[in-house]
Amino acid sequence: MATTAGRGMVALGISGILLAFGAVIAVLVDPFTRVPMMVDATTEWLARLLLLLGVAWLVIGMLAARTSLVRRPGAAAARATWIASTRPWRARESTLGVLPLDRWLMILVPGGLLVTTRIVQTPRDGLWGVAVAIAGWLLFAFAVRLLLGRRSPWPIIAAVGGALVLRCVVALVAVALSGPEGVWPDLWALPAVRILYLMIAFALVAWVFVAAGWALSAQLGRRRAGGVALAGMGIGYALPAATIALMGARDALRSWNEQIGILPWDLARLTGMRDGAFPIEVVAVTAVIGAVATIVGLALALPDRVYARRVR
């Protein structure tokens, strides 16, 4: 119990740090995001439907652990993703005994919600923005699977899947209220609401990778688990950011949002920053930081026998 309470306190501390960093980034980004973007009625209602599905998945996951609901088809998958994403140190135990159907749902529900959320976020971009976003996550998944070797991938699948659902729900809240009769443009005009939303959105992006690393710690140890998460995060951000830096400032802001999907709309259309006012140096620094994170993560993720061989 003491260990569980201690881990919970650590998780709260990490969440506070991520929110603090998110607040700093939100303050820096806020001047470029003050003009809201409205969506059409069809997109708004599609976002509301997706939001309902996402919230239902989270609620089922919350309730399934304490009720007979866990015996229903799919409830075990929702429970595993909820526990693994909010208490990643329990990710391994949450996936034990999960049936094949639930394992498929642990992949399909978060993955499907991610894809459809990206579609409603940038409806005018077609499938290109969706393909780029998915490519970034596939790079992360490939790096993690390669470093895991023969160990079970289900703990990290549950943790990342649950965290992605949380991210999508936050993004969909804004889109679902941004149609012709939506109230989001009025809310977005309030600086406090704008900063709070951006802060939570940026913090949830970082939490995906924190949950991934923490979920792997029982299998790989703290050093290797942190390395796997850091390397996957670095690859997922370095390659898209490097591509953006080469494209020039005109499309940098728009493309950057396509990679990570933080804001509820296409950030370039939201800000009108297509003419180079956004400093491309910021994206270049992001690419460099991602590359450094990848190298450090790969070094930390090396098996113990590699370090032992070097010592000899």
Inform me whether the pLDDT recorded for 257 exceeds 60.
no
State the pLDDT at residue 93: 85
More confident residue, 228 or 189: 189
CA–CA gap between residue 281 and residue 34 (Å, rounded): 22
Per the CB < 8 A criterion, the answer to whether 224 and 298 are in contact is no
CA–CA gap between residue 71 and residue 266 (Å, rounded): 41
Average pLDDT over residues 242-264: 51
State the pLDDT at residue 273: 43
Which tokens belong to 27?
Answer: 């303050």
Instruction: Give 64's pLDDT tier (boundaries 50, 70, 90).
Output: confident
Half-sphere exposure of 93 toward its Cβ, with a 13 Å CA cutoff?
A: 6
CA–CA gap between residue 104 and residue 69 (Å, rounded): 19
CA–CA gap between residue 139 and residue 74 (Å, rounded): 27
Taking all residues of the chain, what is their mean pLDDT, rounded to a whole number?
Answer: 75
State the pLDDT at residue 267: 44
For residue 123, what is the DSSP state? G
CA–CA gap between residue 138 and residue 232 (Å, rounded): 10
Judged by average pLDDT, the poorest of 15-29, 124-138, 197-211 is 124-138
The listed range with the strongest mean pLDDT (9-18, 104-113, 202-211, 287-296) is: 104-113
Inform me whether the pLDDT recorded for 190 exceeds 80.
yes
Among residues 121, 120, 114, the alpha carbon closest in space to that of 268 is found at: 121
CA–CA gap between residue 157 and residue 169 (Å, rounded): 18
Which tokens belong to 225?
Answer: 């688990």
Inform me whether the pLDDT recorded for 268 exceeds 70.
no
Judged by average pLDDT, the poorest of 83-87, 126-130, 136-140, 144-148 is 126-130
More confident residue, 179 or 214: 214
Inform me whether the pLDDT recorded for 4 exceeds 70.
no
Inform me whether the pLDDT recorded for 51 exceeds 90.
yes
Average pLDDT over residues 223-233: 75
Average pLDDT over residues 105-110: 89
Inform me whether the pLDDT recorded for 166 exceeds 90.
yes
Distance of CA 242 to the CA centre of its chain: 20
More confident residue, 73 or 240: 73
Among residues 168, 210, 259, the alpha carbon closest in space to that of 19 is found at: 210
> What is the greatest pairwise CA distance in the chain?
69
Listed in sequence order, the residues at least 6 apart from 137 whose beta carbon sits closer than 8 Å to its beta carbon are 114, 236
State the pLDDT at residue 275: 43
Inform me whether the pLDDT recorded for 181 exceeds 50.
yes
Which tokens belong to 277?
Answer: 């006012």
pTM greater than the 0.85 cutoff = no
State the pLDDT at residue 119: 81
